A and B are shown apart, each in its own frame.
Chain A
């Protein structure tokens, strides 16, 4: 079965510092991995995805993610955090079945303080 784990419920970072939000996955076959962000009272916004190729994937708002097959991880990163990055971040893997559902991790609350 496909699954995703986000080991940290909350990550606290000072503005200007680098941030990492962790994600590990368990899949059969090739993983198709996604990061979404949810701002308060908003829907989920797509940030980036890993399909194949370069292990470092660049996405929206200066975010990037590093795919590591040996560690089955797909950590989200940003070199310099902004207060406006404070939100709930979800890692997800695309399911194997015909419908292509997303299977989400439990989410990580990122708090960036000035």
Chain B
């Protein structure tokens, strides 16, 4: 069964550094998402992406964040200058459609630790 994959599984970085989190969505999916989960808290939406454009972003997704689909398979989340409060589990998800009837499939996550 096709799966969403994410690399790395764990990233440790120093405050102020740039990080890039990578995701390979399911191959025939067209909509891509990033969510994050701070330890002990709920899963929060960051951004949705379709046709090489951001469809929607949350207030968390400020100028320090960016997303890109650099080729036909990868989907990346970049944090330009990490803060301590960016420490969280970051999940990538993909869906065949934006239609609300379609479920999203999640990757295993990247645990980002900012020191």
Residues of A within 8 A of B (CB): 32, 34, 36, 41-46, 49, 51, 90, 94-107
Number of A-B contacts (CB under 8 A): 77
Counting CB contacts under 8 A, is B95 at the interface? yes
A99 and B56 in contact, given A32-B100, A32-B101, A43-B91 (Cβ under 8 angstroms)? yes
The answer, among B4, B6, B31, B109, for a CB contact under 8 Å with A100, is: B31
Q: Which residues of A contact B102 (CB under 8 A)?
A: 100
- Assess the B108–A34 pair: CB atoms within 8 A: no
Partner of B106, one of A44, A51, A106: A44
For the complex, what is the distance from the CA of A90 to the CA of B35, rounded to whole Å? 14
Are A99 and B50 interface neighbours, CB within 8 A? yes
Query: B39 at the A/B interface (Cβ < 8 Å)?
Result: no
Asked if B48 contacts A100 (CB within 8 A), the reply is yes
Report yes or no: A100 in contact with B108, Cβ–Cβ below 8 A.
no
Q: Point out the residue from A41, A42, A98 that lies within 8 Å of B98, measured CB to CB.
A: A98
Determine whether B65 belongs to the interface, using a CB cutoff of 8 Å to chain A.
no
Find chain A residues with CB under 8 A from B100 CB. Answer: 32, 51, 94-96, 100
Q: Give the residues in chain A near B98, CB-CB below 8 Å.
A: 98-100
